[in-house]
Structure 1
Amino acid sequence: MLRHYAIVPAAGSGSRFGGETPKQYQSLAGRPLIYYSLAALCRCQRVDRVWVVLSPDDRWWRQYDWTSLGHKLESVYCGGSSRSESVCNGLRAAATAAHDDDWVLVHDAARPCLSQDSLLALCDELADDPVGGILAVPVADTLKRADQQQRVARTESRDGLWQAQTPQMFRYGLLTRVLAEHPEGTDEASAVEAAGLSPRLVRGDASNFKVTYPADLRLAEQILQGKTRVDQ
């Protein structure tokens, strides 16, 4: 029986966010931001194990109590200088459990509002897919191309454009191979595309956004509060 494993790369500093504390440890509703991404994965009945990939010199992780997330969570201090390197190192750590045909879900540490419905939809829709795929949402806003003076050069068509999210879900063997061959991509799907394959787009939810700037924390908190009320 095929299993589902998750990897959360969390070795970055979040330079666009600013501040001395890495973005993933910024406070959100009384907990570090990364807690919510990990909690969503650990709560999911399909996910058997979760590896969070930390920087070797991370000094924040041990300041928190993660026991409430349960037995699925394992922290490894093998993060690299790029996302792809961290994910590759996480895949090596997962080699003790994962087989080539098992599924791996790679999720951003700074996407705290991932819903269980989206997670289950991703697993269900990709169950028999030969490639794998990603959560994504169709682009709704009008897109403008800027010139060098930061003025509008032209309006771009949004037809067929989707905004990539995470988790991104691929077979363990495939993901290990394509990331080793194509480490330059900004996400896992980019490496799969560079290998000549076409990941499937699974429609997600706009609430599953990535916290990038301090103002995003307030929106994330409002979304989480709404989810809590619904769950109750």
Structure 2
Amino acid sequence: MQASRPRHFALVPAAGSGSRMGASQPKQYLPLLGRPLIHHALATLCAAPDIDEVFVVLSVDDAEWARHDWAALGPKLVPLFCGGATRADTVLGGLRAIGAKVEPADWVLVHDAARPCIAPWHIDRLVRELADDEVGGLLAVPVADTLKRADANRRVAGTVAREGLWQAQTPQMFRYVMLRRALESASAVTDEAGAIEAAGLRPRLVAGDATNLKVTYPLDLHLAEWILRNRQG
């Protein structure tokens, strides 16, 4: 039976290798303040009162997950070993795996495993601003820097006007049935909003902030550590 209100489920794709970090282990397991990098995002999501369950979608052959203790995150956390070759494949695999647990109108918040600095207020703002939205949306920040388009020789081919441009973040929040159908039809996208856009819909941009950074290069780990240490005290 459908609950009196749509529920909220978090889905964290974590089947990638993080090759740009140049590390010997998947990026999501690199140490950050004594914990695996992914632990920080999962802890915030599991502690969020609006989120009913948190699914982390891992590679089918992931052996690293079992080497860590996740018990402190509580019963909300559920690992799913059904990740695919791409982010879209992994998210879609996760959506298929939880199909029996969710209702079509329930919300799914997809969050990058490599964004460890997500804060409670990020989740709260996204949930509140999208509660009555017909499409859903994503956290994002307006582009502040001048953008340059490069040619094949890495020389400037032109300057791109930044007016109206936003940098996408996560979580990205959409209704379960809408997101699943969109990804079934658009598997080449790099984020969930792209699949929704390909379906002819226009996701809403919800203002985030720069602290919700994505760890992509080694220096980003130091920035994430600084953010988390200063946020805690």
TM normalised by structure 2 equals: 0.97
Q: Aligned partner of 2:142: which letter? A: P
Which consecutive residues of structure 2, in runs of 5 or more, have no partner in the other structure?
A: none
**Is 1:38 equivalent to 2:33 in the alignment?**
no
Name which of 178, 190, 199 aligns with 2:182. Answer: 178
Paired residues for 1:102-141 under 5 Å: 102-141=106-145
Deviation at 1:96, TM superposition (A): 2.4
Q: Aligned partner of 1:96: which letter? A: A
Q: Aligned partner of 1:33: which letter? A: L
Name which of 161, 167, 172 aligns with 1:163. Answer: 167
Q: Residue 48 of structure 1 corresponds to which residue in structure 2?
A: 52
Q: Residue 225 of structure 1 corresponds to which residue in structure 2?
A: 229
Q: Aligned partner of 1:141: which letter? A: D
TM normalised by structure 1 equals: 0.97
Q: Residue 199 of structure 1 corresponds to which residue in structure 2?
A: 203
Query: How big is each residue's C-alpha offset from its partner over 1:116-172, in whole Å with a ceiling of 9 and x where there is no partner?
Result: 111100000000000000000000011011122211122110000000000000000
May I ask how many residue pairs the two structures share in their alignment?
229
The CA RMSD measured in Å over matched residues stands at 0.7
SS at match of 2:52: strand
Query: How big is each residue's C-alpha offset from its partner over 1:169-223, in whole Å with a ceiling of 9 and x where there is no partner?
Result: 0000000100001111000000000000000000001110100011110000000
Name which of 142, 148, 172 aligns with 1:144. Answer: 148
Q: Aligned partner of 1:12: which letter? A: G
Distance 1:228 1:65 in 2: 22
Name which of 62, 86, 91 aligns with 1:87. Answer: 91
SS at match of 2:225: helix
Name which of 8, 14, 20 aligns with 1:10. Answer: 14
Distance 2:34 2:46 in 1: 19
Q: Residue 80 of structure 2 corresponds to which residue in structure 1?
A: 76
SS at match of 1:16: helix
Distance 1:185 1:86 in 2: 12
Q: Aligned partner of 2:21: which letter? A: F
Q: Aligned partner of 1:137: which letter? A: V
